[in-house]
Each structure stands twice: as structure tokens, then as C-alpha cells.
A and B are shown apart, each in its own frame.
Chain A
Amino acid sequence: GNSVTQMEGPVTLSEEAFLTINCTYTATGYPSLFWYVQYPGEGLQLLLKATKADDKGSNKGFEATYRKETTSFHLEKGSVQVSDSAVYFCALTPILTGGGNKLTFGTGTQLKVEL
């Protein structure tokens, strides 16, 4: 079956530090890959996505590249801010033929950014 593995959290960084959250996946074919973010007390927001190999998704200074050869979609940001503190979820949807769509999520990685 499909699965997503994320690095364990929490990750604690100082403001302006470099961020990497690792994500690897197992799926047949060429799934679409996503990063969602959940700020404290809020719902999930789509952060970025990539739908084919070597695509780079980017948004709000975050970026992730779809690496088929390593089945990875690591999230990076060059300089984090306190406002980036949240839980980050890596997810995939398989390529299906009319059978419906379902996001398979990783377990989430909590990021805490301190001054």
C-alpha cells in the first residue's frame, strides 16, 4: 500500500535558521506529493505540491523537489520565522483511474521556532 514517512519531531530552531523536514514515500506509479501545514488551533492549509518527478513546489519561502529516484519530497526553507511554528504534514495521492482520491499523510512534524 501507499505510505509516507516523516522525520520525528518536534524540531526546534532559532529564527533565521535553515529548515529541512525529511519526507519519503512508498507508492506505485507516480503519485502527486503535497506539504500541508497546520497552525496552532487551525485546520490544514496546502503549503505546496508537485505532481511529477523533478517538479519543485514552492510557496512562502518553502520549497520541496519531487525526487523519484530517492522517493523523497523534503521540505526546506532558508530562513525560518517564529510565525512558521506549526505542524507540517507530507502527503501523497496515488494516480487512480476513476477510483476516487485519498490523501495518505505522514505523521506530521512539529516545528518550533524561537527568537
Chain B
Amino acid sequence: DTAVSQTPKYLVTQMGNDKSIKCEQNLGHDTMYWYKQDSKKFLKIMFSYNNKELIINETVPNRFSPKSPDKAHLNLHINSLELGDSAVYFCASSQGLEDTQYFGPGTRLTVL
């Protein structure tokens, strides 16, 4: 009964490809997030959705497009992948806008 799950766990792809990462939470939370962790383990928020509405967009290239089909899902689609997109991407969720965030296991993306 995983609270926040992500698929796939590992993703290896070529430059220029388009890929998606999926996130699902079964906590009944209203708010979901995407974070990027670089090779030095630095974590930075990318997006946040509250009740399927985008509320945070942190100067991320528009090649990245989050999609929230319902409150329990927040997927991340990336177009025209670049080498610099290689990182671990974490999904998270919280009950409200100011509540504790719970993280998924991460998706390690490697762009060759």
C-alpha cells in the first residue's frame, strides 16, 4: 500500500526523445509536486498542483509539461530530452497547501 508511487523507477533514453513519468498518490491529498535532484543531490521544486490546478511553476523549460488528470495523479511529460535533463525526479503530495509533503521513491532519468 505505497502512499506515493512513481513509474518507471529507471528511465534510459536518447537525446531528442519524448518521455513521461507517472505519479500516483493514495493518501487522498489535494496537492502534488515535482522536484528535480541533480547529480550533486541538490533538490529543487519544479511544479505544484492543487486540486488539478497549477499553482507553482519554477522557471522550468517549457519542454517540461505536467499534467494532472485527477487529484491523485500528476504526470510529467518531457519533450526533446537533453543531456542536462539527467537527474532523479521526485513526486510528492500534501494534504493542503501548507502541510507536510510526502515523497515518492524517485525516477532516475538518464539521457544518452
Can you give 12 A-B contacts (C-beta < 8 A)? A34-B100, A42-B105, A43-B103, A44-B90, A46-B101, A96-B97, A100-B50, A100-B56, A102-B48, A103-B43, A104-B45, A107-B40
Q: Interface segment, A18-26, A77-85, A87-95?
A: A87-95
Structural contact, B42 and A95, CB atoms closer than 8 A = no
Docked CA distance A69–B56 (Å): 30
Structural contact, A46 and B100, CB atoms closer than 8 A = yes
Which residues of A in the span 25-57 have a Cβ within 8 Å of any Cβ on B?
Answer: 32, 34, 36, 38, 42-46, 49
Residues of the B chain whose Cβ atoms lie less than 8 Å from the Cβ of A105: 42-44
Docked CA distance A96–B101 (Å): 15
- Nearest-CB residue, chain A, relative to B96: A101
Docked CA distance A36–B35 (Å): 14
- Nearest-CB residue, chain A, relative to B94: A101
Structural contact, B55 and A43, CB atoms closer than 8 A = no
Main secondary structure of the interface of B (DSSP, over half): strand
Structural contact, B97 and A101, CB atoms closer than 8 A = yes
Structural contact, A43 and B106, CB atoms closer than 8 A = yes
Tally A residues with Cβ within 8 Å of B. 25
Which residues of B in the span 48-88 have a Cβ within 8 Å of any Cβ on A?
Answer: 48, 50, 55-56, 58
Residues of the B chain whose Cβ atoms lie less than 8 Å from the Cβ of A61: none
Min CB distance A2 to B, Å, is 11
Min CB distance A24 to B, Å, is 17
Min CB distance B84 to A, Å, is 19
Residues of the A chain whose Cβ atoms lie less than 8 Å from the Cβ of B45: 102-104
Q: A44-B90, A89-B43 are in contact. Are A102 and B106 (CB under 8 A)?
A: no
Residues of the B chain whose Cβ atoms lie less than 8 Å from the Cβ of A104: 45
